[in-house]
Structure 1
Amino acid sequence: MSKIALYLRLSVDEANTDESNSIINQRLLLSRYLDQSPEFQTFQREEFVDDGFSGTSTNRPAFQRLMADVKAGIICHILVKDLSRFMRDYLELGNYLENIFPFLGVRFIALNDQYDSKTSEKNGLEIDVPFRNLLNDFYAKDVSEKVKSAMNTMKRSGKNMSWLPPFGYLKDPEDRFKIVIDEEVAPIVRRIFRLSIEGMGDQKIAQLLNREQTITPAERKMQVSQAKYQKTMILTDEQTRNVWTKGSVRQILKNEAYKGTYLFNTRTYIRGRLIRRPESKWERIENNHEAIVSAEVFEKAQQARLFRRGIQSSSLSQKTEKSIVTGLVFCEHCGHRLSLRQNKGQIGYFYCGYCKGQDHSVSSCRLDKIEASILEALSGYLESPAQSKANTEISRDIERLKTRKLELFQEYKDCYISSDVYLDKKVAIDEQVTNLEKSFLVDQKPQSSTKGLTKEIVEAHVEKIVVDCLGFFEVIYKS
């Protein structure tokens, strides 16, 4: 049965302001349209919801899943409330309407904009569609700048804008822009600083807190809010609970909020991705709220950690570069992804930080052994040097043709060529690209090779890698 996708999106800025764009109202509108359309009665419906994501970026979880299903041929129709729900970048949206969806055979419908790619004569090139997209793009950028400016003004006046304060603090019931000490868990924070100053490492502190079953930051957040943290749960002593880790202890010891400092604008969005800003650009307001530890205690803890790191750097393992299997290796016991480290001999290995924090006896698993096993299993799918060179040339030809198509589109927009001329040339280029892509796929048929693995090949064939407590591993391949 063919599937039709209902794509619903609501940005953070609209969450409390635009009732007409709420997820519920979008769902009702799209469902009513499908119920009243006889041609869609036999279609299976599937929802893709991005609640709290900007339309200016494609880095949205549900959007990425939707496009993956589209490319896999699972979705053949997409229905949205209007074009801005799908995307606010008018150039990128034009590319989807004009190139991507027609190439993949996907029918795209935007109800309020009365756009249906099946009945559109020019594949979305009518003057009103690009103009409307352009207005949506300008609107999104204008709103974003105004919201950002207003929030920065409030932050610089000392108003705490975080939705939930750090472990050890609560929102002031009298003023939602202030935080007060959470007396129930603040002693835990003070104890962590004291243990660190006394010489105990972050991992040892985590193990001690876990043995005593001390409440964790995530568990406290679940008590005071509706937040859920299922991914950080672990089975301990026949019950499922959150655990302390080396990382959670380190986050507390490094957080300047505990000495009364309000630290903000430490991160920023660049092209839809949240990026850490340089520390020199962080903004601070000293003595903005009541401190849990004094500034002297905070500085002593930092010096103690630096001292221990100086001793450990010559003997303990260090983080290494990501490998081609990073993100695919999981612990059999707790189900968490394993961390990749490197020992003094420069040998990479995976180990479970969660189980180690629980004092479980676990062995690490060497990276080279995992890679060797996968290399042997997938050797028939690796490119030979000749193939690699041929595919590179084909890729260059495809990119050249796509660039030429964009140039033609710009010439059409600038009225240098007519729509008929543009569409004829576009069809010819699309045919060339299709033929090149077919030859590219033929060239990548399985052949024997000794060339190393790539991240793309591993992700295409490996589901996950499971490591047990003895360090033995099993590679689970995709069917």
Structure 2
Amino acid sequence: MSITRVKRIGPKRVIIYVRLSDEDRYKKNKNDDSESIANQKSMLLKYALEQGWEVVAIYSDDDYSGTDNNRPGFNKMIEECEKGEVDIVLCKTQSRFSRDMEVIERYIHNKFIEWGVRFVSIVDNADTDVAGNKKSRQINGLVNEWYLEDLSDNVRRSLQNKREDGLFLGSFAPYGYKKDPNNKNKLLIDPVAAEIVKEIFSMYKSGMGYYKIAKNLNDRGILTPSNYKKENGSKYVCRSAKYGMRTQWCQDTIYGILRNEVYMGNLVQGKKTYVSYKNHKQINKPKDEWTYSYGTHEPIIDVDTWNAVQCKFKTRTRVTRTGKVYMLSRKVYCKECHQVFTRNLYKTSEGKTPYLKCKGVRLANHKCNNNASIRCDVLEKIIVDEINKQLDIYYNIDELDRLYTIQKKSLNSSSISKKEIFEQEKEELNTKINKKNDYYKSIYEDKLEGIISQDEFMMLREKFSKEIEEYKKRIKVINDELLNIKTNEEKVQTSKKVFEKYKHIDKLTKEIVDEFIEQVLIGEINPETNTRDIEIEFNLIRLD
């Protein structure tokens, strides 16, 4: 389709377009134009009068971003231009029209020319009728887009600061918690749901698998997290729920709860991000870029239970027909070939007897000579005896307290002072970042008003960007150091609690194995002595 434009005789018809991004404090009421919008209109009307142009319409968009392509005033202006009912579009600056380079190219440099519409912005001297002005307009468009990109980075930085300060930023509280009615960024325990969370951790710790736990909850009619939120008036909608059907507990839900550090009083946020300020599709961030905040709210699960459960995730274990995991599963390994010892049954006159044997013996491409099995009850007795030996050494409470105090003081003498120094440095770096962002916004406004040149703006922008990037790198190093300090403190505390918990052990359980044992190494049988080496590696820190 071809369009023929007839040159109009008489005053040029002008559409004035004005825009402001943020609400202005000078509005008298919600429906009034902001003072900045009024100032733009006044300036542009005066300019049009001086040029002898006829203003046929004024369109404005208050509280709309320059990247928003669904602005009502903007769309009406485009419609008028396409109809051929306007000769000139007049703005204060090109950025008022749009900060999106794609929009600038589409309309100012293409469609407007096709429609016979001239674009003029009076502060930055953009004029499509001036030869050689296009490159200047394109540079303006790039600078405006860079500003938007930097502004987006500033918003992200602001949210990141809130995450690092331990503020909860989620739309809905995790299952087991509710938002503080007086502070939406703080979590409070929901007593009803918290009891179910404790049960889930307890069942898994005792050896039950995901499926068995989910079935237990479904059989008892316990509401799933999404159904529980709905029952309590939340607007949360589970994406997997269809046609109003109630969801069921499943293995993925159980796994997600068991892996969520929120139940230990910590926040792990910033797991996803947007592709860009233009593309709002979410993508996953690498784990080392997640934000960890510790002790931000009251925990539902204690440190010992959490650590015991997480240890089980390090190795995959086979669930028996009863829905439980054998207590020594993935704990016993061959000292010769380092393959795992697997549990099997063999028939005797007394019935089926469980035993452990090196997996490497049966592997065709990995033949191991450590082919002698060991009965489960025999190995369990050996382990119980070794644990009791450790308890006999450490159980004296007075001595345990003394050793713990010495160990903690030794740790604190270096960690507390380091922690305070790191926290103070981190706070100072965040303050510097905020100041640089304020400076950057200020020089951008100076550039728009013509106070500083384009070259000066670009030089300062590059300088501020480099400084902010260095500050961010240092903050990441500090966060890693703070995490190491906290981990060491928890290890010492956990060791003391375990030794205080047990005086003597008569029978081995999954909980005891997870608390005491890192791994058990079993060697070959010596044909001369008919004995074999069995090494037990404990996972606790020695307090002496």
TM over 0.5, shorter chain: no
Instruction: Report the TM-score when normalising by structure 2.
Output: 0.35
Which has the higher Rg, Structure 1 or Structure 2?
Answer: 2
